[in-house]
Structure 1
């Protein structure tokens, strides 16, 4: 799965990255320029001057306008040219595309497809990133692999003991319990309940729970949209679950490169010391995954696709692929 639908929300930047200076990003192979108006609102326009093929992200912001540093054409937040330095009359219809945009959960999201559908498909709520009682860390980087490879990885955690044994809870080293999968028109949800078992060392240190005791654990994942994935892991205690949420916002730069924004949130031990335990471990894991997916992409580029053998643990992944194929077929921009 290398192609992603345009009719979806994709994260393109952290909120704090965008201010009064233009910022350039790429989604679906097309440049997008971001900036804030004098009132703080976010503007997202096609990053290519209508006069000549020069990026607007290399221009400047004046008031609420962005001005090309090559042609001097000035554009309003709606993408329309409002002034041309060489003449008083603005050419009829001179404009660049304006993208619907949303600022949510510390990220700036753009709708890359039919703008009329944007309001009908709101972003999935991420309360662990917006409400009190949680602490979060994360990072972002570009992975030299298709977004489909990232989705396949998110859908199956049974690879964790092999890729990163130190991270893997002992329950993942056993035959996994039944995977429940629930499919709707645009989403796939799946979950497992693990029998009582000892915690991994880092789990015990982070949660403050005894390494000698055994705890039931719960895994849950959600393919929320082509550009958003969430995972949940609960350690169940008599005082309620110790929960970690893993949020992945992925944006196709092109068919073989994906921008990946990831965060890890927790509702326990909100201190910096615990973050110091978890951050290097989780970041190390995600870098290992990044390297593995880039190896896969290199192999696919060299030898092409091949028939794959799937097992029961792939049930959620196969449903995600089916939903993606349907969303691509229904995409109004193709």
Structure 2
């Protein structure tokens, strides 16, 4: 556990991270979006095309023909090959050109980049950095997205803001009562308890316990707990990787807690745009009626977050960075920024 200075607030010149490291896994699509027709995506400002081979596995290639600057995502799939609709070059799942329509011999070395790819937890993940590192930095396990005891819903959209602004948002939930009072449990309207932060080389975890208090109306309706009851609650956050953040909120009842897991896959389209895949999983009441209670509440909140972060990005674009006042609630946020900057330094050094 790494200690934190929690004294008087002070100004800092450090701001949100705008660039993301390439040596990381990023979600480029929902699994159900990738089929036998090419699907184009953008990460780090570079196009990637996804498609399924005849065996059903996903291939990920640079979305630019080796012959002319034309997107392969506008081509077609034949068998296991991706064929450019402009040049007619045919590419295998490994990115190599296997045939050229104007000659029998394929030019030596003709190929586009093939990315390591993994299909997991309903998403297609692509490793955008050094291929040899992909197997040494596996995706963390997300059992609440893969095991049958959990019920999940979610959505995805592009936010016109740097990914670091989204990370900052997840690292500090003390803004929730101000951004969306109807969502925030009553305990968040009080001075928050101590935040315990644990830092490793590439990850940050934080946790906090709230004293017994009444639930928010939607919490009572979703869990079936009486609105007049008071329950202790527990919060956890986990910066698992540059492109992955997870949160947990427990209502502590006898036996197993009633838990909501919030999963966020962040993909840097470029330094000012981020693709956000979010999912909410629960271990209680799998009924569709419960999803009907939770979905509009959480969807509405994340849309408010999207709007707020886009306002922040527009302000930074117009006026540039400025000193920030730090407070105790920033403990996890500052550690996430430090880890991100360290990963970026390692990325640049290779």
TM-score range, shorter chain: over 0.9
Tell me the CA shift for residue 230 of structure 1: 0.1
- Structure 2 vs 1, CA of residues 100 and 332 (structure 1 numbering), >3 Å: closer, same or farther? farther
Within 5 A, what are the aligned runs for 1:155-234? 155-234=171-250
Shift of 1:132: 1.1
| Counterpart pick for 1:26 among 36, 42, 60 | 42
Unaligned runs of 5+ in 2: 1-16
Measure the CA separation in 2 of the matches of 1:258 and 1:214: 38
Match of 2:310, SS state, is helix
Q: Alpha-carbon deviations, 1:54-100, whole Å to 9, x = none?
A: 00000000100000000000000000000000001111111000000
Q: CA deviation at 1:311?
A: 0.3
Residue in structure 2 matched with residue 153 of structure 1 by the alignment: 169
Once residues 174 and 65 of structure 2 are traced to their aligned partners in structure 1, the CA distance between those partners, rounded to angstroms, is 47
Give the root-mean-square deviation of aligned CA atoms.
0.7
Checking the alignment, whether the CA contact within 8 Å between 1:7 and 1:332 is kept in structure 2 is no
Return the alpha-carbon distance in structure 2 between the equivalents of residues 164 and 137 of structure 1: 20
CA distance in 2, matches of 1:58, 1:240: 50
In the alignment, what sits opposite 1:98?
A: 114
| Shift, 1:239, TM fit | 2.6
> 1:24 Cα shift?
0.2
CA offset at residue 289 of structure 1?
0.2
Q: 2: distance between equivalents of 1:225 and 1:36?
A: 26
| Residue of structure 2 equivalent to 1:73 | 89
Gaps (5+ residues) in structure 1? none
What is the DSSP-based 3-state SS (H/G/I as helix, E as strand, rest coil) of the residue aligned with 1:331? helix
How far apart, in 1, do the equivalents of 2:301 and 2:32 lie?
26
- Is 1:118 the counterpart of 2:134? The answer is yes
Picking from 76, 91, 104, the partner of 1:88 is: 104
| Cα distance per residue 1:210-261 (max 9 Å; x no partner) | 1111100000000000000000000000132000000000000000000000
What TM-score comes out, normalization by structure 1 length? 0.99
Question: Out of 37, 58, 61, which is 1:42 matched to?
Answer: 58
